[in-house]
């Protein structure tokens, strides 16, 4: 008679459903607070995903809080953001820190290694079948857990099982391609064109990641060079590394991020459009807040922190999507930021967490107001 071997303990303190960056960060944060933690994911690790592969400075600080400090060979530090449209060129630098360009698989492996170092139990190729009354049904087994964390992405089954609704306000399509070329700048470049943007993130000394994102459903990566000829000049002759990846850039918000002993984190709890560059940073900051809430036993604190963490990114996302959709308005804003680089620096510092979140400085605020002159309201689809 062959006895089956259990993959999971009978019980744990925290069961994390979803082993992507948000789930592993939540697991690490909970483990750092002394909890026993189990992570289950039906994918094979390390998990790759099409994304811009940039982590903003507040996300880098959150990673450090999780005990993760990539080596120089694993990531490329970027110092700010540059906007380009035609002859317009606006750039700003982070005031006190830097962001990181890092391949998604490399980042995921670093999170796996840190979780293993702390003693997190991780199980891959294991599908969770449901949750009920403090129990998780996974791979034919049942695990009792004090807390359950849903970190299973935009189309979260955990959120659905918990009866938590969500609102989607914007959906765009995106593609990424890596190119074997030395970065020509230590900034993330954003190329603007009607209906789409191209983001160039240096991810190593000899490689850049290019993301093409837009609202057109028929947009394809092979249009990149035709849409952005200046970027084409930069990349001419550079071989592609790996295949083209694709995905959806979604702006959404869960109606709640907790229900009883269940908590949502990362895109399961809501997401911001990739235009903000803030997705990973938000997930890592949420994870730290989740760990603190579990330690205090007061999940209301997590709800408050979650709202605060996402507030600025949502505001900036709405503003950037607005100018993305209105060419004349976008030109006025970029002209203003080009003329007043200090204003751009103030906005970037606020967005990246370098100054208090609601203080942009009078100059930055005045420039933004000038650029938005004539736009009386955000489109209803982004409200």
Q: What is the pLDDT of residues 57-89, one digit of tens each?
A: 999 999 999 999 999 999 999 999 999 999 999
pLDDT given for residue 374 in this prediction: 44
Least confident segment among 195-199, 266-270, 314-318: 314-318
* Residue 209 confidence class, pLDDT cut points 50, 70, 90: very high
Q: Can you give the chain as a three-state secondary structure string?
A: CCCCCCCCCCEEEEEEECCCHHHHHHHHHHHHCCCCEEEEECCCCCCCCCCCCEECHHHHHHHHHCCCCCCHHHCEEECEEEEEECCEEEEEECCCCCEEECCHHHHHHHHHHHHHHHCCEEEECCCEEEEECCEEEECCEEEEEEEEEECCCCCCHHHHHCCCCEEEEEEEEEEEEEECCCCCCCEEEEEEECCEEEEEEEEECCEEEEEEEECCCCCCHHHHHHHCHHHHHHHCCCCEEEEEEEEEEEEEEECCCEECCEEECHHHHEECCHHHCCHHHHHHHHHHHHHHHHHHCCCHHHHHHHHHHHHHHHHHHHHHHHHHHCHHHHHHHHHHHHHCHHHHHHHHHHHCCCCCCCCCCHHHHHHHHHHCCCCCCCCHHHC
Mean pLDDT of 13-37: 98
Q: What is the pLDDT of residues 142-159, one digit of tens each?
A: 999 999 999 999 999 999
β-sheet bridge partners, residue 214: 173, 196
Residue scoring higher pLDDT (176 or 382): 176
Give the mean pLDDT of the chain: 90
Considering the chain, what percentage of its residues have pLDDT values greater than 90?
74
Look at the domain 11-49+60-71+101-168+251-311 and name its fold: FAD/NAD(P)-binding domain (3.50.50)
Domain ranges of the chain: 11-49+60-71+101-168+251-311, 315-382
Q: For residue 383, what pLDDT is reported?
A: 31
pLDDT at 1: 38
Q: Which of 93, 61, 54, 57 is nearest to 76 (CA)?
A: 54
pLDDT, tens digit (0-9, with 9 covering 90-100), for 220-273: 999 999 999 999 999 999 999 989 999 888 899 999 999 999 999 999 999 999
**Predicted confidence band at 352 (pLDDT cuts at 50, 70, 90)?**
confident
**Residue 341 pLDDT > 60, yes or no?**
yes
């Amino acid at each position: 008679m062959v006895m089956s071997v259990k993959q999971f303990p009978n019980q744990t303190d925290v069961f994390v459903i979803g082993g992507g960056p948000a789930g592993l960060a939540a697991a690490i944060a909970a483990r750092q607070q002394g909890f026993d933690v189990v992570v289950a994911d039906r994918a094979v690790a390390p998990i790759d995903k099409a994304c811009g592969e940039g982590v903003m400075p507040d996300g880098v600080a959150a990673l450090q809080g999780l005990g993760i400090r990539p080596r120089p060979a694993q990531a490329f530090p970027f110092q700010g953001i540059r906007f380009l449209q035609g002859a317009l060129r606006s750039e700003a630098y982070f005031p006190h820190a830097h962001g990181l360009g890092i391949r998604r698989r490399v980042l995921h492996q670093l999170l796996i290694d840190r979780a293993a170092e702390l003693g997190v139990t991780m199980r891959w190729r294991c599908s969770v079948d449901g949750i009920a009354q403090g129990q998780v049904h996974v791979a034919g087994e049942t695990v009792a857990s004090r807390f359950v964390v849903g970190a299973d992405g935009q189309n979260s089954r955990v959120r659905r099982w918990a009866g938590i609704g969500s609102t989607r306000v914007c959906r765009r399509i995106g593609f990424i391609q890596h190119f074997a070329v030395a970065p020509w700048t230590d900034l993330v470049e954003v190329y603007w064109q009607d209906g789409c943007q191209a983001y160039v993130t240096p991810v190593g000394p000899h490689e850049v990641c290019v993301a093409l994102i837009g609202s057109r459903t028929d947009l394809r990566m092979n249009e990149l060079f035709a849409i952005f000829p200046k970027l084409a000049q930069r990349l001419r002759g550079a071989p592609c590394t790996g295949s083209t990846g694709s995905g959806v850039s979604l702006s959404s918000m869960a109606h709640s991020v907790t229900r009883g002993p269940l908590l949502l984190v990362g895109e399961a709890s809501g997401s911001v459009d990739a235009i903000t560059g803030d997705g990973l940073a938000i997930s890592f900051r949420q994870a730290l807040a989740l760990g603190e809430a579990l330690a205090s036993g007061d999940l209301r604190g997590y709800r408050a922190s979650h709202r605060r963490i996402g507030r600025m990114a949502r505001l900036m996302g709405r503003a950037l999507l607005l100018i993305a959709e209105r060419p004349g308005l976008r030109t006025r804003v970029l002209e203003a930021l080009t003329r007043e680089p200090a204003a751009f620096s103030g906005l970037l510092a606020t967005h990246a967490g370098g100054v208090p979140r609601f203080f942009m400085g009078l100059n930055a605020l005045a420039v933004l107001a000038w650029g938005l002159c004539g736009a009386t309201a955000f489109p209803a689809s982004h409200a």
